[in-house]
Structure 1
Amino acid sequence: MVISNPSNNPLDTLAKQKSRYFLTWRWHFYSGLFVIPFMLMLSVTGFIMLFDDEIEAVRYGEVLSVNPSTYPSQEPLPLSAQLEAVQQAYPDGTVTQFVPATSSDVANRFSVTMADESTRFVLVNPYNADITGTIDRSDSWYQLANDIHGTLLIGDVGDYLIEIAASLTVILLVSGIYLWLPNDNARRAGFLKIRTDSGSRVLLRDLHANMGGILSIVLLFFVLSGLAWAGVWGAKIVQPWNSFPAQKWDDVPVSDINHKALNHGSEEEMPWNLELTPLPESKVHVHGEENTSGSSAGNAKKAEIAAKQIGIDRVVSEAKALGFGQYKLNFPRSETGVFTVSANTMSGDITDPTQDRTTHIDQYSGKVLADVTWNDYNTIAKAMAAGIALHQGDISIINKVANVFFCLAFILIAITGGVMWWQRRPVGQRKLGAPPKLADSGLWKVGIVSVVLVCIAFPMAGLTIVALMVIDALICRYMVTFKDALS
């Protein structure tokens, strides 16, 4: 008598596939419920940030523009004269940054930190040093959108919530691709098709599944490049291992503050791989002798400084000689601070990440203390520099238009997912309407390995999944009402 192996039974195989399909759908469903609001928020705020320049031109065009034809025979005044005009107008403020005009009909910008810690751009006509107006840096639509995009306006808690959502998006993508691929007749019927004559639910399903499947790699790119700024995955894991080592600067004392201190608020102006790297220090001449000790900052404040700080005119001349075009110039923040000239895609100075450059100049001697270019970046840092530029739509107009499309597509994916859930939820019942959980079909090794790998790679996703498993084990099993609500 021949005994058949149950595992070879087609009905058993079909039941196992169906069980795994619904299990994957449940993961996709629960991840989606959490992720959808964040995907909408990130897409909308990202869309606003794409048009920062256009919005600023509409809001402040009158004070941003100058008419060079009014001064046909006059060259722009020295920057030192323009800086002096700003310092005279704001004697209680501290000028921290200079941003040169992008064209001859635009005002120069000097960033001034006021006594109340607020920061504003002071706009200066380069032809007569007249101040044309100011822009409150905290009042820009970009700043507001960026703060929401990064922290939900609630600080670290918001950052962690967004990181959880971004991490769970990876699970959403993996499970979504599994559900999308045409492994049976039902999925083949809608694969890469939009059926408009089969009812609204089928139409929504086709839009959601096909757009999500086709754009999954694009969405993964946005998630990974965005996570690099997150508080755990980025700041604690990836960024520290890929920061530029200050030890490469030979015979240069380093400060106890890093490049991140040069950012203004939540505006990321320093390259990602330099944020955690200490700044170099200027060599202070005290009573005719060089003091290069690590404690020179404290000593210099009490001592007579024999050397005189070089002016902005010389620094800018040096920057131009080094090949800088559009850039940001950060002023020294202390007696041992340095002039920092930076041009990078992160802050929108340039559009080609391979031209990233950050140069530190001694504020007394004018000597170049450190010069970091694209060639000094490691592989991950290069990927981040290029990735952030693409993420922000800075590479070209094509990149910007593509990102506008992606933002709109992600909004559509999120909305169709939410509407599908709303349509299929049990009406009049206190239930979420999660996909049913079928009978246990045994150990699904591929599924387990996939989830474990995501949890290891993205700790916040792992912690969230563990928390959900604990809730399921300790609450759902013993609280029937709660269990029914999640069914």
Structure 2
Amino acid sequence: MSGSNQKPNTNQHYFTVWRWHFYSGIFIAPFLIILACSALGMLLMSNTTGRDNDRLTVTPQSTVQIPVSTQAKVALKTLPDSTLVKYIAPRESDTVAVFQVRSENQDNMVAVNPYTADIVKNIPTSGNLYHTFDEIHGDLLLGTVGDYIQETTASLTILMILTGWYLWWHKRKSVKAMLVPDDSTSLRRKRSFFRTIHATLGSWISILLLFFCISGMAWAGIWGEKVVQSWSQFPAGKWGVAPVPISVDPKQPHSSMDMNEAKPHVHGAHSEPTHGSVLNSGKTKEVPWVLELTPMPISGTTRGKEGISSTIPINVDTVNQYAREIGFAGRYHMNVPQDDAGVWTLSQDSMSYDMNSPTADRTVHIDRYSGKVLVDIRFDDYNAFGKFMAAGIAIHMGTLGLWSVLANILFCLAVIGICISGYLMWWQRRPSTQEVAGLNPPARGIKRSIPVWFMMVLLVVAIIFPTAIIAIVSIFLLDFLIISRFSILQKLLK
């Protein structure tokens, strides 16, 4: 484990770090495998049928597609008394358009042939395999409890990476030796082989894994929403978030809602809808990270710049035409106002699989009465962390093109390989006699001490990532206070 020239205190530190690495790994590896497998499932679904069956193909029959309003009316017939929530424009000339329609008891995504207005597929919103994998990836299908488990997994993974670096550096003493296995003799022994694969492969992907943990936790319920995201909102003061009464004639062209009638609800002082609450469908994240908690603008204000001409009505056809005129090409999202204060929203971002480049993110809000553009948000408007998240999520989700899909597949397989090799190392290290049973962690019966630097690492991780505090305290109590006091636990865990 270490040479005879090592100081006893150094050995004690090594054994302590090793045990923490072991306890963290043996409990969180199953969750890392779940994260990797669910990520592979999302990669498969998003690049085959699409997140909402938007990659289903059709045969182009003319150079001109049927008006969006005609397609929408067909989609609305799939549910009784339904309203139109969203239109997703075709990705290519040979792919379907998708409409989200909602009735009192049902919410569906309807794929429509844009050339014939025939329904190609009709499924409940968030009802396909992509969304199942997404929910497993996000909260293990357990809601808030699962979200906290996954956030804790990511926090402890960061601790595992740091302790893993120390352990492998302690053995190899150089970066090159950490990255390139060169001990052919030890590679012929099973446990040494798996240890070398585990550590070398871990060294190669550790930086990317660290990045994935941080970018993934930025979506989580505590560190993301409560700590980081709440301080990274887009400055909503750039538009009017409280309605300024203006005279609106319902009979005028710009009061038209096309398929949707205005609902008798006005956002009051105690109701501040955010981008996430209005534009996200269920648990699926469709709004850029930096905008999710930012309040939505409101129709009926005196704000805004010239947008859709006052001489024409506002409906899905004219809004779609305007979207094309201002530069939205290919697949984009059009969210329809759902009440009298709602706005038309045009959006296009890599996180929603609209295009590859996160720097092309764009969100436009249009007043449903005046037709004015209330705000036109682009990547350059994001703050520094918002830009990091836009780019980070594109890497995290593999939306940068085929190369990033392949890279993510290899990364997920590597994570699975590291977890499995860790378990194999543990199994092969178990004594062959029946006298020793239980978990059999490393450094059994060996004197150990906690190095100051390691205590500082634990403190920093606990402060930055709150869910890690409980896990770190639990490991400490398990290894240093509880196990040492109960002979049964010593037999099983020591």
TM superposition score normalised by structure 2: 0.85
Amino acid paired to 1:462: I
1:132-211 mapped onto 2 (5 Å cutoff): 132-181=120-169, 183=171, 192-193=180-181, 195=184, 197-211=187-201
Post-superposition Cα deviations, 1:376-415, rounded to whole Å, max 9, x if no partner, equal 1000000000000011111121111111110111110010
SS, match of residue 264 in structure 1: coil
Distance 1:59 1:88 in 2: 19
Return the offset for 1:191.
6.3
The answer on 1:107 being equivalent to 2:89 is: no
> What's 2:456 paired with?
449
Equivalent-residue separation in structure 1 for 2:350 and 2:190 (angstroms): 43
Deviation of 1:321 after TM superposition, in Å, equals 2.0
468-477 or 90-99, larger mean C-alpha shift: 468-477
CA distance in 1, matches of 2:300, 2:172: 71
Q: How far apart in 1 are the matches of 2:52 and 2:97?
A: 17
Please give the alpha-carbon distance, in whole angstroms, between the structure 2 residues aligned to 1:64 and 1:159: 32
* One of 381, 389, 401 as aligned partner of 2:394: 389
What is the Cα deviation at residue 345 of structure 1? 1.4
Alignment partner, residue 317 of structure 1 = 321
Counterpart code for 1:228: A
Relative to its length, the structure with more helix (as a share) is 1
- CA shift digits 1:65-99 (9 cap, x unpaired): 3222xx34x62122122222223443422221100
Deviation track 1:92-124 (CA, whole Å, cap 9, x = no partner) reads 22221100111222221111123323x322122
- Residue type of the partner of 1:461? A
Structure 1: state its 5+ residue gaps.
1-9, 285-289, 293-306
Q: Quick check: 1:309–1:363 contact (8 Å CA) kept in 2? A: no
Map of 1:83-482 to 2, 5 A cutoff?
83-117=72-106, 119-181=107-169, 183=171, 192-193=180-181, 195=184, 197-249=187-239, 253=243, 256-261=272-277, 262-283=279-300, 310-325=314-329, 326-426=331-431, 428=434, 429-436=436-443, 438-441=446-449, 444-472=451-479, 475-482=482-489
TM-score, length basis structure 1: 0.86
The alignment-based identity, stated in percent, is 39
Correspondence 1:40 to 2:33 = yes
1:425 and 1:431 in contact (8 A); partners too: no
Listed as ranges, the gaps of 5+ residues in structure 2 are 244-266, 304-310
**Hey, what's the Cα distance between the residues in 1 that align with 2:273 and 2:153?**
32
Q: Deviations over 1:351-396 (max 9, x none)?
A: 1111111111111221111111111100000000000001111112
Amino acid paired to 2:79: Y
Alpha-carbon offset, residue 139 of structure 1: 2.8
Do the aligned residues in 2 keep the contact of 1:97 with 1:112 (CA within 8 Å)? yes
Q: CA RMSD in A?
A: 2.8
Aligned residues: 452
Q: Is the 8 A contact 1:123 1:133 kept in 2?
A: yes
Q: Answer whether contact 1:309 1:364 (CA < 8 A) is retained.
A: no
Distance 1:152 1:185 in 2: 39
Deviates more, 1:202-211 or 1:423-432: 423-432
Q: Is the 8 A contact 1:100 1:328 kept in 2?
A: yes
Match of 2:260 in 1: none
Match of 2:259 in 1: none
* Superposed CA offset, 1:210-265 (max 9, x none): 00012110110111111111111111101101111211225864861111121112
d(CA) in 1 for partners of 2:152, 2:489: 23
2:19 aligned with 1:26, yes or no?
Answer: yes
Once residues 111 and 174 of structure 2 are traced to their aligned partners in structure 1, the CA distance between those partners, rounded to angstroms, is 62
Instruction: Write the distance in 1 (CA, Å) between the matches of 2:52 and 2:298.
Output: 39
Which deviates the most, 127-136 or 208-217? 127-136
Cα–Cα, structure 1 residues 86 and 432, in superposed 2: closer, same or farther, change >3 Å?
same
Report the alpha carbon displacement of residue 53 of structure 1 after superposing the two structures with TM: 3.4
